Structure 1
């Protein structure tokens, strides 16, 4: 028995020791930090924590995921929530860490000498007798059911029976229709019950998306103060604005350009009319336009003419912005070989399988689905033309020029100029000033640990961020909290 355990221990030790040695790993981590953060962030300690075979590696290659623990030290004061420099999102990408894999980042900024701790990983590929670092392991959000998303199969079956359908519905399409309606009804019920119990209902987004994860993190942040915040699964920002206007929720998340359209009854909201009661509580984090191609794909957005391009889900806020981006570059849908309506995950799969040439998506950085896809696919971000950015800023209030910092994604060695919108926390004028101030004081609390709460985007929150790109009026209660609002605010 002792010999058996000795053999197993040796095998485990051999497995853990595969790949580059600790000196090579340390040099590669230092080089990655230097490329993105320069001399501002230094690696002070690193421990190798073993390795595992990369299950996504091509059949003809040998790849390993090498895990490590690292301690980093800031050489000068640094604000990881700043939008115009590499922040927590870039650090996650550089180190191949998940949101809970980094500790020590402080809301409101860090000081010189502060130490950060990280649990990260790099992917290596064997090159002859040596190992070459490829990318940081892309983080993929664990697909665990949320507390308020239980199995609704019994309810769907019961409704099918009540409608005299075959057990479980006559087809997958039938079941999907029933499931969509059940989730919408449950959201409405939850919102009404939440307000009845003196709480707030927040329209988030699709399950496992950035909006829903931020909403869940915000809810947990408020719990110690005995503030009940019920987060609702929705179809996203467009749906959220309509739920807010209908009085089914008190708070909602959406894009700044889409909120402007809702306020004025334009674009996607032309049939709805102007929502004159809509107000912003805060600008949360930037959502840049991502134009993604394969490494050997088109070089400029103009080169998308005659290509197969995914523009996003029909009726979505992201798709509306994507169409405007194409138009600003002189392209219409009719100029494309084909335009698809896939969600981001399926679009990345189609890009990988050669069924697409490009995709456009408006999403916060880093989008974990993009980071994870970069493990197996060499992706490249296309820059928007300066003239197109200027035209979009003039024609679409709520948009602003933005730079995706180097290192935001694996293999992204250069900064990329693009357009962005703000993710907004929205409400109606019916919310009292006292309620608005209480919610914002906690939202921008210096002690808020957004990464540990599970939201990468939350780490970009700062009451000091410019608010001129919001595009809609601030709630009066917010004006008293965010005292440094630029004079150009509407």
Structure 2
């Protein structure tokens, strides 16, 4: 009986492995995706081996879909810098391959040369159609989502602490309600970040204000902490509300390092915009410009919204309070003649929550500033037909002229599934920041380590980290470079590791 069962299981497994397109179809589809992302004559498939297939658990009920896994070796047919801001980079390559950041190797600091080989573990999703199989989208990489305090269960430390605070405040004999608990949770997160920062400084570390849990800033901050830790620099990444909150934490001395957008940094340094009541932050300094962050305006592909003007009266997520992305989103709406009150609803969800609400029909659009292609958006595109709205050219010109730290950018065709053409948008630069209390020696050491050619950003889970380059370290700066950073960058390849 056991032997018969094993034979049946083996037969089922072999059947699953043989499902999907044949080798020639798989190679052809992958080559087309690479050509769509990078153009003709950039990447060719030197070797490709199937590694089995599995049913797609996310397939619509009416479709039969399989995920086909493969190992590939790609050859560079001409020189290509995958860290360039002006051309498709590592994130586009990972998107085309349906790979995760740890599934790609061979990308060289300073750019790859003709004849170089890249190795990747990737996957594509196929649906069964009459006469064969049709590629749908890459399987891709879904970033792990950190559980929120509200998801920890009634016995979790977070929930016990919320209950204790509610009791101490004598909110209700039966405990705090939903609204009260959310207020306590928000204030706890702010307080915990501040406590972490102070404890880190006490133990001679460098607390770094990152971003919301599971977000791009948070993942970059964790990768940065790991890489610098290998070089003896103790950086402690903190979970925060985002770029605007980070700048306030840096000014208060809660942290030593911070990530924020170039436009928000300008307003903090001049005491304007969201910082109008706080006065100029004249001590603010840049350690390096890291990578570009284009603005994404996402709607459902089958919906009627085709332009920014179509957002009037719609339910739109603008981003979390305390995030620099939200401030930029408001500026973009204003440049198109829209105010928050012109919207049907101005939501304040994080990106993951907003994409889920868009999928479920509880939102009509999502506006987010984030490095592209963003893995969260790409993962959502696997199950949801999304469309990127272009910004109006006059609005982009107005914003670039009036909002320091912004620049026009085009999201390359194929950045996301079902995106056949480039999309015109606005971008900012992600900046790593400190202030003048940070010593020149510390700044120089950190920047040298930041741009070390041996940094393994993909191995630590940060796709955007591969876009770091000394050649781009001074781009879109809105406050001066710290003198130590300037010293490291001026030293050239020996000091910073040129790409």
Q: Report if TM-score (shorter chain) is over 0.5.
A: yes
Task: Select which of 72, 75, 78 maps to 2:74.
Answer: 72
C-alpha separation between the residues in 2 aligned to 1:314 and 1:243?
A: 15
What secondary structure sits across from 2:470 in the alignment? coil
Match of 2:410 in 1: 403
Instruction: Specify which of 186, 189, 212 is matched with residue 183 of structure 1.
Output: 189
> Do the aligned residues in 2 keep the contact of 1:157 with 1:168 (CA within 8 Å)?
no
Cα gap change, 1:426 to 1:69, in 2 (>3 Å): same
Quick one: distance in 2 between partners of 1:194 and 1:338?
40
- Residue 444 of structure 1 corresponds to 451
Of 208, 230, 233, the match for 1:227: 233
1:59-85 deviations in Å (ceiling 9; x for gaps): 111111211111111122221110110
Distance, in Å, in 2 between the alignment partners of 1:8 and 1:48 is: 21
Distance 1:394 1:40, change over 3 A: same
Deviates more, 1:153-162 or 1:179-188: 153-162
Correspondent of 1:249 among 248, 255, 258: 255
SS at match of 2:454: coil
Task: Check conservation: 2:245, 2:322, Cα contact below 8 A.
Answer: no
For residues 425 and 417 of structure 2, the distance between their equivalents in structure 1, rounded to whole angstroms, comes to: 18
Distance change >3 Å, CA 197–CA 466, structure 1 → 2: closer
Greater CA drift, 420-429 or 312-321: 312-321
Counterpart of 1:488 in structure 2 is none
Measured in 2, the distance between the counterparts of 1:454 and 1:349 equals: 23
Deviation per CA, 1:268-310, whole angstroms, max 9, x where unpaired?
0011111111111111111101011222332222333343332
Question: Where do residues 65-144 of structure 1 align in structure 2 (5 Å cutoff)?
Answer: 65-143=67-145
Give matches, 1:336-355, under 5 Å. 336-355=343-362
Whether the 8 Å contact between 1:168 and 1:175 is mirrored in structure 2 is no
Q: SS where residue 383 of structure 2 aligns?
A: coil
Mark the CA change 1:80 to 1:250 in structure 2 (over 3 Å): closer, same or farther.
same
Cα RMSD, aligned residues only: 2.2
Q: Which stretch has the larger CA shift, 245-254 or 2-11?
A: 2-11
Q: TM-score, normalised by structure 1?
A: 0.93
Closer, same or farther in 2 for the Cα pair 1:484/1:299, shift >3 Å?
farther
CA distance in structure 2 between the partners assigned to 1:191 and 1:431 by the alignment: 15
How far off is 1:130 after superposition? 1.0
**After superposition, what is the alpha-carbon deviation per residue over 1:154-207, rounded to whole angstroms, capped at 9, x for unaligned?**
444444454456799433433333333333333222212222222211011111
Counterpart of 2:305 in structure 1 is: 298
Q: Map residues 316-335 of structure 1 onto 2, 5 A cutoff.
A: 316-335=323-342
User: What is the TM-score of this pair, normalised by structure 2?
Assistant: 0.91
Q: Helix, strand or coil for the counterpart of 1:204?
A: strand
CA separation in 2, counterparts of 1:362 and 1:395? 18
Q: Counterparts in 2 of 1:385-404, with a 5 A limit?
A: 385-404=392-411
Contact 1:169 1:175 in 2 (8 A): no
How far, CA to CA, are the matches of 2:491 and 2:296 in structure 1? Answer: 30
- Partner Cα separation in structure 1 for residue 359 and residue 249 of structure 2: 36
